[in-house]
């Protein structure tokens, strides 16, 4: 049967019989591309159908509903990656049969990280298959020599055919299969260019159908659009079990790996890596590394104990308040939400008597990280007050608390973990909401001096004076 022509949105996959300037589903502009719609891809394609069909038929799904308490959970042990920071983000390691999508800017280190993980698994005698559609086998070998990843059980397959990749996974049955990248694969039964919505969707569905039945850990590398999201239809992010984003602060050697979605662990868990000549090195103590260059005795600096995923993290908030020379004050925020900064500025102006309306305000999270949680508010207020008064805040104090519009300091979650992190790094005082001062904290305080506050003015007086 002859295929018909449809127009497909490259942002969300919405199909239309005619071209549209704006997608009615996701609202994106100028994203419709003409494609030839074909019949949905099946397990046995035009080439190598017998081998792939055998893999897909190896395990048949039940056709009758089963009581949930009777379902065999199949508690297989997690597969450690050989990198403790990556295991933390994944929730303890790879889950057999899971599919992980890794995205990030070009050159951020996605392929480097996955090749290092492949080496760790292959060095333990586990078969690993690295499917590359962007590089030749010789190019992958050159990179592997630099990283020291030439284990005998690490196999490479240079191909852009999704059927060949699926057949190789079914035949080789590796413990880990890496697809670098999913946008380069093309299904021969889909009449559109590689990287299009149809190709990405069909290729992911085919690979998932194979790996879920073996089971094999499948890791997909995804390109990132200009807006910072993974290219291709958003339905792919809903199909996979975990979505990890690589963030690289400009002109920094640090690489931040963040879990945006994880069915087997905490979301927004983070891991910090440093790019070196021999690949990515784990930063086991991010708080100490991020505070290592903190200036002592400088105005406009405050330390907050934030929580990212399950990890408490001490970061430095820096503020610079200066007179606006042209009568049009600027508000610039790097690493934190500008709307949150505007809220704190309004509270300081109305409730604390700090008139910052005619001043330029520059805010940043030192180290190139991005932090966005309610406990950041009070440290942001202290840093602004310190810079405005040109007095350094207490360098031995960690500030925690959410700021309300009435100037009240509200309690935050997981205070005990934040206190332990502050104590571990040698801080002596913690300014925290009065609502968090409970008898349960007695066991974790140690030598820390707790300064409970109810108003933002009290916090400023206790740290800046």
Element (H, E) at 351: helix 338-351
Is residue 364 annotated as involved in ligand binding? no
DSSP string, 374-431: TTHHHHHHHHHHHHHHT----TTEEE--EE-TTSBEEP-S-HHHHHHHHHHTT--EEE
The total of other beta-carbon atoms located within 10 Å of residue 372's CB is 14
Give phi and psi for 442, each to the nearest 5.
-60, -30
- What are the angstrom distances between the C-alpha of 300 and each of 213, 244, 247, 345, 377? 56, 33, 26, 14, 14
Is residue 106 annotated as involved in ligand binding? yes
* Residue 11, phi-psi category: left (phi > 0), alpha (psi -120 to 50), beta (remainder): alpha
Structure tokens at 395: 């360098």
Element (H, E) at 71: none
- In sign, the C-alpha dihedral spanning 417, 419, 422, 424 is negative
- In sign, the C-alpha dihedral spanning 279, 281, 282, 283 is negative
Is residue 109 annotated as involved in ligand binding? yes
Structure tokens at 37: 């719609």
Beta-strand pair 429-433/449-453: parallel
Residue appearing with tokens 């010789």? 138
Is residue 105 annotated as involved in ligand binding? yes
Is residue 104 annotated as involved in ligand binding? yes
The total of other beta-carbon atoms located within 10 Å of residue 51's CB is 15
Is residue 108 annotated as involved in ligand binding? yes
Structure tokens at 63: 């056709």
| Annotated binding-site members | 104-111
| Annotated binding-site members for ATP | 104-111
């Amino acid at each position: 049967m002859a295929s018909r022509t449809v127009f497909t949105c490259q942002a969300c996959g919405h199909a239309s019989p005619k071209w549209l300037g704006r997608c009615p589903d996701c609202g994106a502009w100028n994203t419709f591309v003409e494609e030839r719609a074909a019949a949905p891809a099946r397990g046995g394609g035009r080439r190598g159908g017998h081998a792939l069909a055998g893999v897909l038929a190896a395990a048949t799904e039940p056709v009758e509903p089963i009581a949930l308490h009777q379902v065999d959970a199949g508690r297989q042990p997690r597969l450690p990656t050989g990198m403790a920071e990556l295991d933390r983000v994944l929730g303890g390691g790879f889950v057999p049969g899971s599919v992980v999508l890794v995205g990030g800017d070009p050159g951020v280190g996605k392929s480097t990280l996955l090749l290092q993980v492949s080496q760790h698994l292959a060095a333990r005698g586990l078969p690993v298959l690295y499917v590359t559609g962007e590089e030749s086998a010789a190019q992958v070998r050159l990179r592997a020599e630099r990283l020291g990843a030439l284990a005998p059980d690490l196999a490479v397959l240079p191909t852009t055919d999704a059927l060949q990749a699926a057949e190789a996974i079914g035949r080789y049955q590796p413990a880990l299969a890496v697809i670098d990248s999913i946008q380069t694969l093309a299904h021969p039964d889909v009449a559109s260019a590689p990287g299009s919505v149809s190709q990405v969707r069909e290729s992911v569905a085919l690979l998932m159908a194979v790996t879920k039945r073996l089971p094999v850990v499948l890791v997909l590398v995804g390109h990132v659009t200009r807006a910072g999201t993974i290219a291709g239809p958003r339905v792919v992010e809903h199909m996979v079990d975990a979505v990890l984003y690589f963030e690289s602060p400009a002109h920094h050697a640090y690489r931040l790996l963040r879990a945006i979605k994880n069915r087997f662990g905490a979301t927004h868990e983070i891991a910090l890596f440093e790019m070196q000549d021999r690949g990515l090195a784990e930063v086991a103590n991010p708080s100490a590394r991020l505070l290592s260059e903190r200036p002592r005795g400088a105005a406009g600096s405050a330390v907050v104990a934030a929580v990212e995923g399950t990890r408490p993290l001490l970061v430095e908030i820096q503020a610079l308040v200066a007179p606006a020379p042209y009568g049009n004050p600027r508000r610039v925020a790097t690493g934190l939400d500008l709307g949150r900064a505007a809220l704190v500025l309004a509270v300081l102006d109305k409730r604390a008597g700090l008139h910052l309306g005619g001043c330029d305000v520059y805010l940043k999270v030192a180290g190139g990280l991005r932090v966005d949680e309610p406990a950041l508010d009070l440290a942001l207020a202290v840093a602004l007050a310190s810079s405005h008064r040109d007095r350094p805040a207490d360098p031995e104090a960690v500030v925690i608390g959410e700021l309300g519009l009435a100037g009240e300091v509200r309690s935050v979650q997981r205070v005990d973990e934040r206190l332990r992190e502050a104590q571990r790094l040698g801080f002596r005082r913690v300014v925290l909401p009065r609502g968090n001062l409970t008898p349960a904290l007695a066991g974790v305080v140690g030598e820390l001096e707790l300064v409970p506050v109810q108003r933002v003015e009290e916090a400023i007086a206790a740290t800046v004076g």
